[in-house]
Chain A
Amino acid sequence: MIEVLFFARLRETLDLARLVLDLPEPTTVGALKAQLAARGAHWQTQFAGRQVLAAVNQEMADDATPIRPGDEVAFFPPATGG
């Protein structure tokens, strides 16, 4: 199992803050993004069309970053704080 979190524009558009997924075997951020994009039209626009950043266990990640059972994965737009 992995926990997937969504923030800001993604959370609002997907109407979802948290998702728990079965993880039969280790994957990567890029593969998980492709899997999520296939869930429907909103998912497609968020994960295939616009810039989405990812973190694994609260560290910035890229498409090649591995994901293992128990990991916390998060997707969000570029930061706009300060």
Chain B
Amino acid sequence: MTDDVRILTTALDPAALTAELVEDRAHSQGALVTFVGMVRDLSDNPVSAMQLEHYPGMTEKSLAAIIGRARARWPLGRVLIVHRVGMLHPGEPIVFVGVTGSHRREAFAACEFLMDYLKTEAPFWKKEITPEGERWVEAKQSDGEAAQRWRAAQQQQQ
């Protein structure tokens, strides 16, 4: 049962990270769920690059705390969170979350839970570099609501 949090300044390779989880998992773990987030380029919002900044030290602590909360809710095998920082281009992977579990249900749920909390609680900030100039991405209300949904679900269970 190992947790792994990695902040990368170089390319993130989802296939290699997935292979690592397949190799390393205990054989009682029948499920592996992964999520890969990528830099988007939308036609009405052309982005030539994305600059990712974070708070070294707090980033790792907050991701470890989020993993701890997921483990308190579901029995999980391995958890691996990898996040890029620095300059990225459209199409490049920015975040990888991989979770192994005995069954698919907890692995799916935990993967979504980890992403929802990562988006609102882990200290990363995106700046879009566009042909017109640079702009900091504003936090989305829907991301806050996604994390809030898990809190509401837990209160209902209690």
Contact = CB atoms under 8 A, between A and B. Distances in A.
Given A79-B122, A82-B37, A82-B94, A8 B52 contact: no
Interface residues of A, number: 17
Interface string A37-60: 000000000000000000100111
Interface residues of B, number: 27
A12 B135 CA distance: 11
Nearest to B120: A79
A26 interface: no
Which label, helix, strand, loop or mixed, suits the secondary structure of the B interface? mixed
A76 B139 CA distance: 12
Contact of B124 (A5, A12, A55, A79): A79
B76 interface: no
A24 interface: no
A67 B119 CA distance: 27
B126 interface: yes
Contacts of B121: 60, 79
A76 B118 contact: no
Given A8-B136, A82-B115, A76 B126 contact: no
Given A80-B138, A81-B83, A8 B115 contact: no
A77 B124 contact: no
Contact of A58 (B57, B94, B115): B57
Interface of B: 37, 52-55, 57-58, 61-62, 83, 94-95, 115, 118-127, 136-139
